[in-house]
Structure 1
């Protein structure tokens, strides 16, 4: 299997698990399941960015882009890391008990 087809398979599996976890998490009022479902959504987004980066990396080099788009995968990893940090911060803020003042 090529990298793109493996990523598409993982994308389908992660999407199914995202919907399953968010539905069950809200049904049973489980913050852990809801938080993990949004982590799965971040994984879905990361896989989409990886697919986009693979497509760009296959582009030929030109006189303007002498390296082609070989650095697109590195930039995709940076974007994924930033979104994962934002997700961790939002889960942390949601987990802090809200006490009435």
Structure 2
């Protein structure tokens, strides 16, 4: 919501999924999704709905090979450690 507010301050027409006043998504709109591991089921579902409505999908992710990247029209890679890359022998964090 904070990022959406900054875009609104720049004069862009912005809405957030789930807000009571969010208009329908359609052709000419851009849907911005964020999924660090690229496999978040809720995000994948919302991306499919956005594409079906005719919107372009922009994804922010740390996993460019994930399912979300395959659904996106545009992907912005943010190099970061995620749940997907911190398992087994690759584990480097003690955080839950």
Q: TM-score, normalised by structure 1?
A: 0.28
From the CA coordinates, give the structure whose radius of gyration is larger.
Answer: 1
Q: TM-score, normalised by structure 2?
A: 0.29
Q: Which has the higher helix share?
A: 1
Q: Which has the higher strand share?
A: 2
